[in-house]
Amino acid sequence: MEGLRNVSSHCSISDMDDYDLSRLLDKPRLNIKRERSFDERSLSELSIGLARAGLDNLDSSYSPGGRSGFDTPVSSTRNSFEPHPMVAEAWDALRRSLVFFRNQPVGTIAAYDHASEEVLNYDQVFVRDFVPSALAFLMNGEPEIVKNFLLKTLQLQGWEKRIDRFKLGEGAMPASFKVLHDPIRKTDTIHADFGESAIGRVAPVDSGFWWIILLRAYTKSTGDLSLAETTDCQKGIKLILTLCLSEGFDTFPTLLCADGCSMIDRRMGIYGYPIEIQALFFMALRCACALLKPDTEGKEFIDRISKRLHALSYHMRGYFWLDFQQLNDIYRYKTEEYSHTAVNKFNVIPDSIPDWVFDFMPTRGGYFIGNVSPARMDFRWFALGNCIAILSSLATPEQSIAIMDLIEARWEELVGEMPLKIVYPAIDSHEWRIVTGCDPKNTRWSYHNGGSWPVLLWMLTAACIKTGRPQIARKTIELAESRLLKDSWPEYYDGKLGRYIGKQARKYQTWSISGYLVAKMMLEDPSHLGMISLEEDKQMKPVIRRSSSWTC
């Protein structure tokens, strides 16, 4: 504990969290004081005893051990206005998806869709899918299940993992796990999938990052530092870091990944340096920095992390950023430049810029593009990466504003009738054949190829609150409310505007349900944002570049 105080300033939790929440609010301020009194006390100052005292200030949002799993949600009882009828339905559906291991809740299944002929692995607890469920439970003052999940997955990390004759890295976290109940022997066992059973044998690079981000959310929400400080958790963090900070032949600070490494877990041309992973990588590094105990080994990791964070933010903010000015510059690039004076560092051929991006780019606004590597810029918009860039402060404040400007300017394309398009635009015809390998599930404007995913609502809401645009969040939540319950909480919607329930979408998809609840609770009480958002790090100065959207 003592040690945490000594973490270099740009790594301490306190630094990340000193929001001026008041600027974000146009809602009842009732619950704000409570969290602020907690926020103002840096987590690094808390001893376990102090943490307990701090928790007393959290009044209704936290009642240690006191809530049964089937109570009325706290959030609806403390509402100063009538809760939407969907909220209670959503809580019921979320609780139906709970998975128990030896009578303890350890997660939520991906989908509770009895009508679907094929279960595949939707009856498993996915690490990424559980994140919005976890946030909903934390916001509702039920941290136990989150703690159980964190510990259970940590245990799974410790397993020896093999695919055929190949042994996976020690730090790898599973994509998902399943609890098998034996009714005769009355025993529960766990089967975990690290990619060895997954369709396409894809590596869940995002799992470890989500695990660290969730551990920080749990710590921040409960004030309970004791979990993160256990030897097991510290080891788990370090094992994940060892995997992603290891040295190789890389010339970039970004993390090299194979296709299918994230929420988009099929071939979709995201191999290379996908924004989805880079943003999560950045956020997980910042969270790890705040959670690590600065003993001798911890300090070494903290040092490596801060070096990587500096290089990563420089690289991302400069090379992945696209706005009108930048697009125009790339359009006029010279090629074949040699040496450090090169302007077109990655030798991008202007002819490779797709036509759509010229129309798509508004005069005001910008975004982080999908991928950057030699002679390759993937200009597609990816929602998760851009929202996480805002939440982690990978995006500078100006860039965050520009991303929100772009969403507003391209509302029809990115939100349409159902938030939120996972990728824009869809790929089609020859490109679809080459990029997806003719994947019939990923035809244009469906699933990962331009489908609309309700789960993304919580990330957009959080980004809206952080950038002071709650009215956008309200608008998107209303869109979701007009369809989600009626359509039985589909996994995704299809079509250019997201009007159709997805071709192979599961119903009662848990993260569609919990994503909605998290969005609602955050809008109702924006102080929840602190759980999942990191304040700008003043030491990571933005790259100075010419850019219209940065200056206006």
Measured from the CB atom, the residue of 67 and 128 that comes closer to ligand GLC is 128
Q: How far is the CB of 213 from ligand GLC (least distance, A)?
A: 15
Give the ranges where 411-506 is alpha helix by DSSP (H): 411-414, 429-436, 456-466, 470-481
Measured from the CB atom, the residue of 204 and 253 that comes closer to ligand GLC is 204
Q: Interaction with ligand GLC in 91-120: which residues (CB under 6 A)?
A: 110
Q: How far is the CB of 542 from ligand GLC (least distance, A)?
A: 31
Assigned token pair, 330:
């790339």
Does 149 bind ligand GLC (CB under 6 A)? Our answer is no
Classify 125 as helix, strand or coil. Answer: strand
Give the amino acid at 148: N
Q: How far is the CB of 112 from ligand GLC (least distance, A)?
A: 11
List the x/- string, 352-381, binding to ligand GLC by CB under 6 A.
Answer: ------------------------------
Yes or no: say if 297 and 305 are a contact pair by the CB < 8 Å rule.
no
Measured from the CB atom, the residue of 224 and 276 that comes closer to ligand GLC is 276
Q: How far is the CB of 20 from ligand GLC (least distance, A)?
A: 35
Contact residues for 342 (Cβ-Cβ < 8 A; gap 6+) = none
Yes or no: say if 451 and 494 are a contact pair by the CB < 8 Å rule.
yes
Measured from the CB atom, the residue of 131 and 401 that comes closer to ligand GLC is 131
Q: How far is the CB of 241 from ligand GLC (least distance, A)?
A: 23
Q: Count other C-beta atoms under 10 Å from residue 296's C-beta.
A: 6
Measured from the CB atom, the residue of 233 and 263 that comes closer to ligand GLC is 263
Q: How far is the CB of 330 from ligand GLC (least distance, A)?
A: 31
Assigned token pair, 430:
């020859």
Instruction: Single out the residue of 67, 128, 238, 286 in contact with ligand GLC (rule: CB under 6 A).
Output: 128
Q: How far is the CB of 156 from ligand GLC (least distance, A)?
A: 16
Q: How far is the CB of 374 from ligand GLC (least distance, A)?
A: 28
Residue whose C-alpha is closest to residue 444's, from 459, 431, 462: 431
Yes or no: say if 469 and 404 are a contact pair by the CB < 8 Å rule.
yes
Instruction: Single out the residue of 265, 276, 378, 494 in contact with ligand GLC (rule: CB under 6 A).
Output: 265
C-alpha count within 13 angstroms, C-beta hemisphere, residue 32: 15
- Which span (43-51, 121-129, 151-159, 352-360) binds ligand GLC, by CB under 6 A? 121-129
Does 227 bind ligand GLC (CB under 6 A)? Our answer is no
Measured from the CB atom, the residue of 174 and 298 that comes closer to ligand GLC is 174
Measured from the CB atom, the residue of 325 and 386 that comes closer to ligand GLC is 386
- Which span (123-131, 380-388, 394-402, 407-415) binds ligand GLC, by CB under 6 A? 123-131
Contact residues for 506 (Cβ-Cβ < 8 A; gap 6+) = 110, 111, 113, 116, 122, 490, 491
Write the burial class of residue 50 (CB in 10 Å: 0-12 exposed, 13-18 middle, 19+ buried).
Answer: middle
Write the burial class of residue 166 (CB in 10 Å: 0-12 exposed, 13-18 middle, 19+ buried).
Answer: exposed
Q: How far is the CB of 490 from ligand GLC (least distance, A)?
A: 12
> What does DSSP assign to residue 101?
E
Yes or no: say if 149 and 545 are a contact pair by the CB < 8 Å rule.
no
Using Cβ positions, the residue closest to ligand GLC within the complex turns out to be: 110
Classify 40 as helix, strand or coil. Answer: coil
What span, in angstroms and rounded, lies between the C-alpha atoms of 114 and 93? 13
3-class SS letters over 370-416? EEEECCEEEEEEEHHHHHHHHHHCCCCHHHHHHHHHHHHHCHHHHCC
Q: How far is the CB of 384 from ligand GLC (least distance, A)?
A: 10
Measured from the CB atom, the residue of 15 and 265 that comes closer to ligand GLC is 265
Measured from the CB atom, the residue of 126 and 432 that comes closer to ligand GLC is 126
Does 413 bind ligand GLC (CB under 6 A)? Our answer is no
What span, in angstroms and rounded, lies between the C-alpha atoms of 365 and 550? 9
Q: How far is the CB of 161 from ligand GLC (least distance, A)?
A: 19
- Which span (126-134, 178-186, 287-295, 308-316) binds ligand GLC, by CB under 6 A? 126-134
Does 203 bind ligand GLC (CB under 6 A)? Our answer is no
Residue whose C-alpha is closest to residue 451's, from 462, 461, 463, 439: 439
Measured from the CB atom, the residue of 152 and 286 that comes closer to ligand GLC is 152
What span, in angstroms and rounded, lies between the C-alpha atoms of 157 and 404? 37
Instruction: Single out the residue of 38, 62, 126, 320 in contact with ligand GLC (rule: CB under 6 A).
Output: 126
Instruction: Single out the residue of 129, 405, 413, 439 in contact with ligand GLC (rule: CB under 6 A).
Output: 129
Residue whose C-alpha is closest to residue 223's, from 35, 32, 393: 35
Q: How far is the CB of 167 from ligand GLC (least distance, A)?
A: 24
Q: Interaction with ligand GLC in 318-347: which residues (CB under 6 A)?
A: none
- Which span (125-133, 221-229, 280-288, 301-309) binds ligand GLC, by CB under 6 A? 125-133
Q: How far is the CB of 126 from ligand GLC (least distance, A)?
A: 4
Instruction: Single out the residue of 4, 125, 263, 348 in contact with ligand GLC (rule: CB under 6 A).
Output: 263
Q: How many residues bind ligand GLC (CB under 6 A)?
A: 6
Classify 449 as helix, strand or coil. Answer: strand
Helices H / strands E in the chain, number of each:
22, 13
Binding site for ligand GLC (CB under 6 A): 110, 126, 128-129, 263, 265
